[in-house]
């Protein structure tokens, strides 16, 4: 199990372009759909906790899933797996980018990647919307947070905190 956790999260780390939100669909596919390590509802809880704690979503989720599946050594294996390739890639790209950032082909490649990152984030949102927006109140909250963060630039931490407090009152 330890080696399997490492390899699954190394795969996720190697292909998690676009950061935390883009990686959610990859983690969901591997952890929920392909291996049934977590149910979708538990996975959504992991994502919520991962967003509410310091650090990147992928690392927090890997640590939780690893711990859930194999204790301390599982969390260590999953965490090391998910960070291994990004650390190597960032070291290499950082050195190359600082040297070639003004080269036209580099600018063009980055311009081509940006829409893919947006699509990956949208895919992650689409994959979880059906299990989280289960009624009129969650739909109103989701729309209000979307409007609050995009139009009014309200701090997401504040909105998460308010939603948590609201959930505590509504669902207890």
Locate the domains of the chain by residue range. 2-129, 133-172
The answer, yes or no, to whether residue 22 has pLDDT greater than 80, is no
Residue with the bigger pLDDT between 51 and 95: it is 95
Give the mean pLDDT of 69-88. Answer: 95
Question: Using an 8 Å Cβ cutoff, are 38 and 65 in contact?
Answer: yes
Residues 6+ away with beta carbon under 8 Å from 12? 23, 26, 27, 30, 58, 62, 81, 82
Distance from CA of residue 46 to its chain's centroid? 10
Residues 6+ away with beta carbon under 8 Å from 49? 60, 64
Residues 6+ away with beta carbon under 8 Å from 7? 81
pLDDT band at residue 66 under the 50/70/90 scheme: very high
Q: What is the pLDDT of residues 117-163, one digit of tens each?
A: 888 888 878 877 877 788 888 889 889 998 999 999 999 889 988 98
pLDDT computed for residue 77 by the predictor: 98
The answer, yes or no, to whether residue 29 has pLDDT greater than 80, is yes
Question: Using an 8 Å Cβ cutoff, are 120 and 25 in contact?
Answer: yes
The answer, yes or no, to whether residue 20 has pLDDT greater than 70, is no
pLDDT computed for residue 154 by the predictor: 93
Residue with the bigger pLDDT between 119 and 80: it is 80
Query: How many residues are there in the chain?
Result: 172
How is residue 118 written in tokens? Answer: 């947006």
């Amino acid at each position: 199990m330890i080696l399997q956790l490492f390899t699954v999260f190394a795969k996720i780390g190697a292909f998690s372009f676009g950061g935390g939100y883009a990686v959610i669909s990859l983690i969901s596919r591997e952890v929920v759909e392909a291996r049934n390590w977590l149910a979708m509802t538990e996975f959504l809880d992991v994502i919520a906790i991962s967003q509410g704690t310091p650090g990147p979503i992928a690392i927090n989720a890997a640590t939780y899933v690893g711990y859930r599946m194999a204790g301390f050594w599982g969390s260590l294996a999953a965490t090391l797996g998910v960070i291994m390739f990004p650390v190597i890639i960032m070291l290499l790209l950082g050195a190359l980018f600082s040297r070639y950032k003004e080269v036209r082909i580099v600018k063009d490649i980055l311009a081509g990647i940006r829409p893919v990152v947006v699509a990956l984030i949208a895919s992650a949102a689409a994959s979880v919307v059906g299990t989280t927006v289960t009624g009129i109140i969650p739909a109103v909250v989701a729309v209000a947070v979307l409007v609050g963060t995009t139009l009014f630039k309200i701090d997401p931490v504040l909105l998460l905190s308010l939603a948590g407090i609201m959930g505590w009152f509504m669902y207890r």
